[in-house]
Structure 1
Amino acid sequence: MKPSTYYSWLQNSQKRDCSTRRHPDTILPEERAAVIDYALKHPDIRHRVLTWRMIDDNAVCLSTSSVYKILKGAGLICAWKPKEKRIKRSLEIPSKPDERWQSDIGHIDIYARKYYLITFIDEHSRYVTHNELMTSLDGNSVSLAAERALSTLDDKAKPVIQTDNGSG
């Protein structure tokens, strides 16, 4: 760069007051007042819908994030009510063996033949109560496997059998 170019740039930058220049995306005070006024007239509308309504009504044309910033600064954004927390599964843990069983089915490929392993696990003790290797996976074979698993118990115990319904 030639020294004359540098010094001409330096001289021009000192002539202009850069602090008074406004960025093209700056929110004007009139726009800020219009957003607050519109929001006060429509208190039941959230900022996203409010933005598009103001554009449709030719009140103000701003982005949703700008409207959000204005409303947040004016204290007009109400916080969303948080979702109620789901009851943790730890409260549902069985207190004794044979109260609830989990079942899981996995497939095993051996020499291009598919086998299905169904396992029943006691949720309290994490003990494998029953497992079977099956050649077909239909409702009848799974029901029979569950019946055979339940037949190993005495008549008093009737566990609830739960499944995760597969991975997808």
Structure 2
Amino acid sequence: MNSPNRNMAIVRAVREQKRSPSKVAKHFGISRQRVYQILNAFDAGGAQAVAPKSRAPHTHPQAVPDKLRADIVTIRRQLTRHGLDAGPETIAFHLERDGKRSPSTSTIRRILAKEGLISPEPKKKPKSSFIRFEAAMPNECWQADITHIFLADGTRVDVLDFLDDHSRYLLSITAASAFTGPQVAAELTRLITTYGPPASTLTDNGLVFTARLAGRKGGRNAFEKVLYTYKIQQKNGRPGHPQTQGKIERFHQTLKKWITARPPAKTIGELQEQLDEFRDYYNIHRPHRALGRRSPHHSYTTGPKASPSDNPKQEWRTRNDIVWDNGKVTVRYAGKLFHLGIGRAFKRQKVLMVIADNHVITSLAETGEVITEHYIDTARDYQRPYWKQGDPPQGTK
């Protein structure tokens, strides 16, 4: 039988192989006196007496006390039950906030794993491998997106949110059965009025955010018109590449985890109350790991803010149409369809419209004669002509 006990090997070399203590001492690199001590100990107590002794210290000053271990497990379970982040870094924060000693995050992770509260993920990509992109100042970039949450009866509800890239401050979060382009633009305008215009926005390529993948049939949509008005730079992620909007995508995980831990809302109004409660917790009370455990509200409200510096180009496009019998044509502006009065005298005639933002000049396609000029007023559907056929008025509108 093989034995890892060196002392027993020494005993057997002398007693069973009949080798001299001097040769055995030389073979094992110890003194002859040590060989005799091992033999005497074996004679007195048998194999157990010469078994290797542990070199571990009798006391462990740095060991985590049982009470602290229990606190770590309790905090983990409480945070998880309420749908909150419950990682080792968050647990360490709560321990320090309560005036308790916090072990290293690796020690907390081992305690949680031993209790069966987390599972190792060896294939998970380490966070150190990610390349981080973060705006340097508040209002340097706002991320916006639309996700969905289900009510108690299974009804799907859209949730629109705006997040400041630098501070992670949740500027707004709104629930609705669905969002149109003008609704999203109206919310952006409200936020600009409240917080000031950002230097840029970052969104996906949804039609409520950009018309660039729609063949530009209607020019800029309502969201893009607001950006143009305030000289805000527009950024869009590459189609099929949500990692570009990584912060707001990760934010949605936090949101849905928090929502799932509560009874499902029965109505959109009830869901909005939950979202308002979450916004208050997320902005003010929740420590953010990426912000050095500061709150988004603290990071957003301290220090200077960025402002727009983009100089967007004027939008030029043309449209061919036929005047209806009622003397009108249509044109899409800021994502909405408007009716332009041309005059019944031109019914069923082909016209060419040259459009520069909200300024439209209409001419007969066959002769090139300019017959009307319009300035689109988004507050009304029907657009009266600024002037009709003949010499244009002096000056500008």
Q: Considering the TM-score relative to the shorter chain, is it more than 0.5?
A: no
Larger Rg: 2
TM-score, with length taken from structure 1: 0.39
- TM-score normalized with structure 2 length: 0.18
Ranked by relative contact order (alpha carbons within 8 Å, sequence separation 6 or more), the top structure is: 1
